[in-house]
Amino acid sequence: MLLRRTFLAGSTIWAAAIPLAAFAASRPAAATAAYGFALTIYAIGHVVCHQLPARSFHVWAASLPVCARCTGIYAGAAATAVAMSVRRWRPDATRGPSYARAVLLLALAPTAATLVFEWTTGTMPANWIRALAGLPLGAAVAWAIGMVN
Protein backbone atom coordinates (compact mmCIF):
# COMPACT_ATOMS: atom_id res chain seq x y z
CA MET A 1 0.00 0.00 0.00
CA LEU A 2 2.87 2.37 0.76
CA LEU A 3 4.42 1.90 -2.70
CA ARG A 4 1.08 2.61 -4.31
CA ARG A 5 0.50 5.81 -2.30
CA THR A 6 4.06 6.98 -2.87
CA PHE A 7 3.71 6.37 -6.60
CA LEU A 8 0.38 8.20 -6.65
CA ALA A 9 1.86 11.22 -4.93
CA GLY A 10 5.09 11.18 -6.90
CA SER A 11 3.55 10.72 -10.33
CA THR A 12 0.91 13.38 -9.71
CA ILE A 13 3.43 15.91 -8.36
CA TRP A 14 5.82 15.24 -11.24
CA ALA A 15 3.08 15.55 -13.89
CA ALA A 16 1.95 18.86 -12.35
CA ALA A 17 5.53 20.13 -12.00
CA ILE A 18 6.25 19.77 -15.72
CA PRO A 19 3.99 22.61 -16.94
CA LEU A 20 4.49 24.62 -13.74
CA ALA A 21 8.24 24.67 -14.35
CA ALA A 22 7.71 26.04 -17.86
CA PHE A 23 5.41 28.69 -16.42
CA ALA A 24 7.95 29.68 -13.78
CA ALA A 25 10.77 29.75 -16.34
CA SER A 26 8.81 32.03 -18.64
CA ARG A 27 8.14 34.75 -16.04
CA PRO A 28 10.63 37.60 -16.48
CA ALA A 29 10.10 38.97 -12.97
CA ALA A 30 9.57 35.73 -11.08
CA ALA A 31 10.86 35.34 -7.57
CA THR A 32 14.11 33.52 -6.93
CA ALA A 33 12.17 30.58 -5.48
CA ALA A 34 10.19 30.20 -8.70
CA TYR A 35 13.38 30.17 -10.76
CA GLY A 36 14.91 27.69 -8.32
CA PHE A 37 11.87 25.44 -8.73
CA ALA A 38 12.08 25.68 -12.52
CA LEU A 39 15.81 25.00 -12.49
CA THR A 40 15.32 21.92 -10.31
CA ILE A 41 12.57 20.47 -12.51
CA TYR A 42 14.53 21.14 -15.71
CA ALA A 43 17.61 19.52 -14.14
CA ILE A 44 15.61 16.40 -13.20
CA GLY A 45 14.10 16.42 -16.70
CA HIS A 46 17.61 16.51 -18.15
CA VAL A 47 18.47 13.29 -16.31
CA VAL A 48 15.45 11.37 -17.69
CA CYS A 49 14.97 12.99 -21.12
CA HIS A 50 16.92 14.45 -24.04
CA GLN A 51 14.95 17.73 -23.76
CA LEU A 52 15.23 18.62 -27.45
CA PRO A 53 13.12 21.76 -27.96
CA ALA A 54 11.84 20.55 -31.35
CA ARG A 55 10.49 17.41 -29.70
CA SER A 56 8.90 19.19 -26.75
CA PHE A 57 5.66 21.03 -26.23
CA HIS A 58 5.98 24.77 -25.66
CA VAL A 59 3.76 26.67 -23.25
CA TRP A 60 4.16 30.26 -22.09
CA ALA A 61 6.99 30.65 -24.63
CA ALA A 62 9.07 27.95 -22.91
CA SER A 63 9.63 24.32 -23.81
CA LEU A 64 8.54 21.78 -21.23
CA PRO A 65 11.28 20.14 -19.15
CA VAL A 66 10.69 16.82 -20.93
CA CYS A 67 9.87 15.89 -24.52
CA ALA A 68 6.37 15.22 -25.80
CA ARG A 69 6.76 11.43 -25.52
CA CYS A 70 7.88 11.69 -21.89
CA THR A 71 5.07 14.15 -21.18
CA GLY A 72 2.59 11.55 -22.46
CA ILE A 73 4.17 8.80 -20.38
CA TYR A 74 4.08 10.87 -17.19
CA ALA A 75 0.54 12.10 -17.85
CA GLY A 76 -0.66 8.53 -18.46
CA ALA A 77 0.97 7.30 -15.25
CA ALA A 78 -0.43 10.15 -13.17
CA ALA A 79 -3.95 9.85 -14.59
CA THR A 80 -4.02 6.10 -14.01
CA ALA A 81 -2.62 6.41 -10.48
CA VAL A 82 -5.22 9.05 -9.60
CA ALA A 83 -8.03 7.00 -11.17
CA MET A 84 -6.96 3.89 -9.26
CA SER A 85 -6.84 5.87 -6.03
CA VAL A 86 -10.14 7.69 -6.47
CA ARG A 87 -12.01 4.57 -7.48
CA ARG A 88 -10.07 2.47 -4.97
CA TRP A 89 -9.51 0.01 -7.74
CA ARG A 90 -6.70 -2.47 -7.60
CA PRO A 91 -5.56 -4.67 -10.49
CA ASP A 92 -6.03 -8.41 -10.04
CA ALA A 93 -2.65 -9.57 -8.76
CA THR A 94 -3.60 -13.25 -9.10
CA ARG A 95 -2.92 -13.14 -12.84
CA GLY A 96 0.82 -13.15 -12.19
CA PRO A 97 3.90 -11.48 -13.56
CA SER A 98 3.60 -12.94 -17.07
CA TYR A 99 0.26 -11.17 -17.49
CA ALA A 100 1.77 -7.89 -16.29
CA ARG A 101 4.67 -8.28 -18.73
CA ALA A 102 2.23 -8.90 -21.58
CA VAL A 103 0.25 -5.75 -20.69
CA LEU A 104 3.45 -3.69 -20.49
CA LEU A 105 4.67 -4.99 -23.85
CA LEU A 106 1.31 -4.25 -25.44
CA ALA A 107 1.35 -0.73 -23.98
CA LEU A 108 4.88 -0.23 -25.31
CA ALA A 109 3.75 -0.95 -28.89
CA PRO A 110 2.57 2.60 -29.81
CA THR A 111 5.79 4.17 -28.49
CA ALA A 112 7.88 1.54 -30.24
CA ALA A 113 5.97 2.15 -33.47
CA THR A 114 6.74 5.87 -33.37
CA LEU A 115 10.41 5.13 -32.67
CA VAL A 116 10.65 2.63 -35.53
CA PHE A 117 8.91 5.08 -37.86
CA GLU A 118 11.30 7.83 -36.81
CA TRP A 119 14.43 5.71 -37.17
CA THR A 120 13.47 4.18 -40.53
CA THR A 121 12.11 7.27 -42.27
CA GLY A 122 14.10 10.05 -40.62
CA THR A 123 10.81 11.90 -40.11
CA MET A 124 9.72 12.86 -36.63
CA PRO A 125 6.03 12.35 -35.89
CA ALA A 126 4.17 15.38 -34.57
CA ASN A 127 4.54 16.02 -30.86
CA TRP A 128 0.90 15.23 -30.17
CA ILE A 129 1.36 11.80 -31.80
CA ARG A 130 4.45 11.14 -29.72
CA ALA A 131 2.60 12.19 -26.55
CA LEU A 132 -0.44 10.05 -27.34
CA ALA A 133 1.82 7.08 -28.04
CA GLY A 134 3.37 7.48 -24.59
CA LEU A 135 0.07 7.57 -22.68
CA PRO A 136 -0.56 3.78 -22.70
CA LEU A 137 2.96 3.06 -21.51
CA GLY A 138 2.64 5.39 -18.53
CA ALA A 139 -0.80 4.01 -17.74
CA ALA A 140 0.48 0.42 -17.89
CA VAL A 141 3.39 1.18 -15.59
CA ALA A 142 1.01 2.71 -13.04
CA TRP A 143 -1.29 -0.30 -13.41
CA ALA A 144 1.62 -2.70 -12.90
CA ILE A 145 2.75 -0.85 -9.77
CA GLY A 146 -0.83 -1.07 -8.53
CA MET A 147 -0.65 -4.85 -9.03
CA VAL A 148 2.44 -5.16 -6.90
CA ASN A 149 1.17 -3.30 -3.93
pLDDT digit string, tens, across residues 39-78: 999 999 999 999 999 999 999 999 999 999 999 999 999 9
Nearest by Cα to 81 from 2, 3, 1, 11: 11
pLDDT digit string, tens, across residues 3-52: 778 888 899 999 999 999 999 999 887 688 888 999 999 999 999 999 99
For residue 10, give Cα distances in angstroms to 17, 41, 43, 74, 75. 10, 13, 17, 10, 12
